[in-house]
Chain A
Amino acid sequence: ETGVTQTPRHLVMGMTNKKSLKCEQHLGHNAMYWYKQSAKKPLELMFVYNFKEQTENNSVPSRFSPECPNSSHLFLHLHTLQPEDSALYLCASSQALRTNSAEQYFGPGTRLTVT
């Protein structure tokens, strides 16, 4: 696998379920991101991890819990979600250096449906 991969690609869950989304980057990057993409809304940044440390949390509800065990893996743990949380969840990575290389590479996304 190359680039940024995400599993599962599709997920249907009930409001009382607990599930996790997984992201893996094979690019040697050290910053990873979670975005939410809903219909007719802009891509919303949820979390940023820089060198495994969480540096940004854009007022995301606690029912979304990120985890970054190393620079290559990023998880999003989901519990007691609401129907309005149904969306495409995109992971991205970038190489954060002092030279400020800023390009983000996106994964294919997980299409989440909450019933």
Chain B
Amino acid sequence: GENVEQHPSTLSVQEGDSAVIKCTYSDSASNYFPWYKQELGKRPQLIIDIRSNVGEKKDQRIAVTLNKTAKHFSLHITETQPEDSAVYFCAASKVQGYSTLTFGKGTMLLVSP
């Protein structure tokens, strides 16, 4: 089955800095890679996703890059703000109508004012 590794487990940055979280996956058949943000005591929410036919996707301050050959993908957050503080999860899936997501262990991002 799929295995997803995520690094780092914690990341502390100053407000305005950039943050990068990296994930690797094992199953070359995976074709869908979402990123979820989970604030303390709240449900995970999708912030951005990318499919295997695309190398990069951007949405305002958030971007995701995918390297299929190396089987890794990364989340980039620019101009970080204190409200970006949360746990971020990457996931990988082979979409077959529904998706069976395999998640990484999560990265706790702390943005200090």
- B78-113 with Cβ < 8 A to chain A: 89, 91, 93, 95-106
Interface of B is mostly: strand
A50 touching B97 by the CB < 8 A rule? yes
Contact (A42, B89) CB under 8 Å given A102-B32, A103-B46 = yes
A104 touching B46 by the CB < 8 A rule? yes
Contacts of B97 in A (CB 8 A): 31, 50, 96-98, 100
Chain B residues engaging chain A, CB cutoff 8 angstroms: 4, 32, 34, 36, 42-46, 49, 89, 91, 93, 95-106
Contacts of A40 in B (CB 8 A): 105
Question: What is the bound-complex CA distance between A78 and B96, given in angstroms?
Answer: 29
B98 touching A31 by the CB < 8 A rule? yes
Q: Beta-carbon contacts of A2-42 to B below 8 Å, as 1s and 0s?
A: 00100000000000000000000000000100000000111
Chain A residues engaging chain B, CB cutoff 8 angstroms: 4, 31, 40-45, 48, 50, 55-56, 90, 94, 96-98, 100, 102-109
Question: What is the bound-complex CA distance between A96 and B106, given in angstroms?
Answer: 26
Closest 6 interchain pairs by CB? A31-B98, A96-B97, A96-B98, A102-B99, A43-B103, A106-B43
Name the residue on A nearest B6 (C-beta): A42
CB proximity of A35 to chain B, nearest CB, Å: 8
Q: Which of B32, B43, B45, B104 contacts A42 (CB 8 A)?
A: B104
Q: Which of B4, B32, B98 contacts A55 (CB 8 A)?
A: B98
Contacts of A109 in B (CB 8 A): 43
B105 touching A41 by the CB < 8 A rule? yes
> Could you list some 19 contacts between A and B, CB below 8 A?
A31-B98, A42-B89, A42-B102, A42-B104, A43-B101, A45-B101, A55-B98, A56-B100, A90-B43, A90-B44, A96-B97, A102-B49, A102-B99, A104-B46, A104-B99, A105-B46, A107-B43, A108-B43, A109-B43
